Amino acid sequence: MPHILIVEDEPDLCTLLSKIITALDYQATSVTSGEAALEKVAQHHFDLVLLDHYMPGMSGLDTAKVLNEKNIPFVFCTASTEDEVLRHAMAQGALNYIVKPFSPAKVIFAIASSLGRIEEQEQNNLIQVATGILMAQNSCNREQARGQLESSAEDAGMTLGEHAKQLIAEYRP
């Protein structure tokens, strides 16, 4: 079950976001500042952070910079429609953004697409590692190793990601 951290200083929005997230059968944790968010992510693993832009104390953009440095994925939430703010958020590593006021459907879409991107990246990383293992084991180039991985995944009736994960787990240098 994905665990999502909500960083929002407005109690009503925090409650609404929490209800939307829990309706998806995800776990929601809420904090009201960037400083509190950084404390939480130091203590717990979160699959995604919904990050408000305008908050007292540490701004959303400053918090985003730290989250990005720690490779913690986040979606930026802002009332601003200024291109400059949205560009800064994306430059800091935001997977998506939500402009307030928002509908539950927009929140659900942003969360689902962001979690999908995270999962896709994890699968790509596994495939790259497994390809590297096959390159080393079989003294072949990347293209040949990728072909071997695809062929053996098909023979095993597994997805490429599943097979890559299995190959990595079984690897003994």
Is there a single domain that holds both residue 130 and residue 95? no
Q: Does residue 107 fall inside a structural domain?
A: no
The pLDDT score that the predictor gives to residue 32 is: 94
Which CATH number fits the domain that encloses residue 139?
1.10.10
Question: Hey, is 118 helix, strand or coil?
Answer: helix
- CA–CA separation, 9 and 79 (whole Å): 13
Residue 123 buriedness (CB in 10 A; 0-12 / 13-18 / 19+): middle
SS3 2: coil
Is residue 116 assigned to a domain? no
In a shared domain, residues 12 and 52: yes
What pLDDT is stored for residue 85 in this prediction?
A: 78
Q: What is the model's pLDDT at position 107?
A: 95
* Structure-token pair, residue 94: 């935001």
Q: Is 16 inside any structural domain?
A: yes
pLDDT at 82: 74
Same domain, 91 and 10: yes
Instruction: Render pLDDT for 72-131 as a digit per residue (tens, 0 to 9).
Output: 999 999 887 777 777 888 888 899 989 888 999 999 999 999 999 999 999 999 999 999
Q: How many domains does the chain have?
A: 2
Give the model's pLDDT for residue 56. Answer: 87
Per-residue model confidence as pLDDT tens digits over 9-46: 999 999 999 999 999 999 999 999 999 999 999 999 99
Q: Is residue 112 part of a domain?
A: no
List the domain range (segments joined by +) for residue 157: 121-170
Strand order in the sheet with 48-52: 27-31, 3-7, 48-52, 74-78, 96-99
Residues 30 and 88 grouped into a single domain: yes
90 shares a domain with 144: no
Considering the domain architecture, whether residues 92 and 125 belong to the same structural domain is answered as: no
Mean predicted lDDT score pLDDT of the chain: 92
